[in-house]
Amino acid sequence: MPETLPSKADTGSDEYQSVLYLTGMTAGEMQTCLGYDQQYRAKQLYKWISGGAADFLLMNNLPKAEREKLKAMFGSVRSSTVSSELSDPDGSLKLQIRLRDGSAVECVLLEDIEGRKTACLSSQVGCPMGCRFCKTGQLGFLRNLGPDEILEQYHFLSERRGFISNVVFMGMGEPLLNLESVRKAILLLTDPEGIGMSHRKITISTSGIVPGIRKLADGGPQVRLAVSLTTARNDLRSELMPVNRSWALPELKDALLYYQEKTGERITLELALLGNRNTEMEDARALAAWMPPLKAQVNLIPWNKIPEMSFTEPDPTQLGTFAKILEDEGITVVTRFHRGRGVMGACGQLGDTLYADPGE
């Protein structure tokens, strides 16, 4: 667990250091980088890469000499590789991605009962937030990912499972502490000349980085926002989620109201429910009292077991009572199913490998 958290003054949310690989470039950036005189050549290359092409030599509408030049310049289209993969009968897939510096992140594809596929993408190697109930939060933090490293997770999942309808930044890391890379990745995901995903199909999930929420409200992109709230009891939230010591619930609520004023969007509040810790009737009533006038849906996420942690899953009766108290107050409640557990890819379970030997 990290000893310190981002302060109010130093969130690092607008800074990232990354060598920009082609998977993180727009067509215009490719044209500049490669010195193309003709725009159409850059657009051809961009179309191949945004479509998931992994080998320059197979880009058959580019001249052979150009393909060979690109191969000599870059070696591989992508900067990362898949080092392991696990699949589950429920349709879940978890990939461990080896990055160019030898470190690793994980990404997950979840499939619902209607066959819709959602990619859960990581934004950082590790996580600096230290949430007590999250495996990733106990690993520490190494660095931010570049936009190329984020997009490559999407491409690796897509080439294994086909069309992906939704993307959520709910993997490893805090997206709002790497906002510029996340913004660039979303720009590329939603480019109608490339992947063409709707902004409405993308969600950023934050632990409650108040300056980042305000920056997202002011500068976009206008995607869906989810907040890992866990509890509306300020003292308990500070115990379970150290971010609350930097930006407590009143500051978080002010930022969310500002976000809604700017965007008009409904917010999702996510509660990881821990048996006998935040599942009592008083916890539900505290949440119902805290929410107004926010326009929000509540997602209840029964805690996913992590062997090295002492928390327990909530009792089903407790869970039902909790949901009913909220519903009786007119709050929309969704209880999330345990997809991804079979590959340790459910909420809070990511982080089998963080640091690795580049020479492996």
Catalytic residue numbers? 106, 347
Helix and strand element counts for the chain (H, E) = 11, 12
Cα–chain-centroid distance for residue 327?
28
The conformation of residue 49, written as its DSSP 8-state character, comes to: H
Task: Tell me how far apart the alpha carbons of residues 216 and 204 are, in angstroms, rounded to a whole number.
Answer: 10
Task: Tell me how far apart the alpha carbons of residues 162 and 66 are, in angstroms, rounded to a whole number.
Answer: 29
Task: Tell me how far apart the alpha carbons of residues 344 and 86 are, in angstroms, rounded to a whole number.
Answer: 9
CB neighbour burial string for 137-175, b if at least 16 within 10 angstroms, e if fewer: bbbbbbbbbbbbbbbbbbbbbbeeeeebebbbbbbbbbb
Give the tokens for residue 358.
């580049």
Cα–chain-centroid distance for residue 306?
20
Task: Tell me how far apart the alpha carbons of residues 123 and 143 are, in angstroms, rounded to a whole number.
Answer: 9
- Closest C-alpha among 326, 217, 320 to residue 265: 217
Distant-in-sequence, close-in-space partners of 122: CB < 8 Å, separation ≥ 6: 97, 105, 106, 107, 145, 150, 153, 171, 172, 173, 350
Task: Tell me how far apart the alpha carbons of residues 241 and 128 are, in angstroms, rounded to a whole number.
Answer: 11
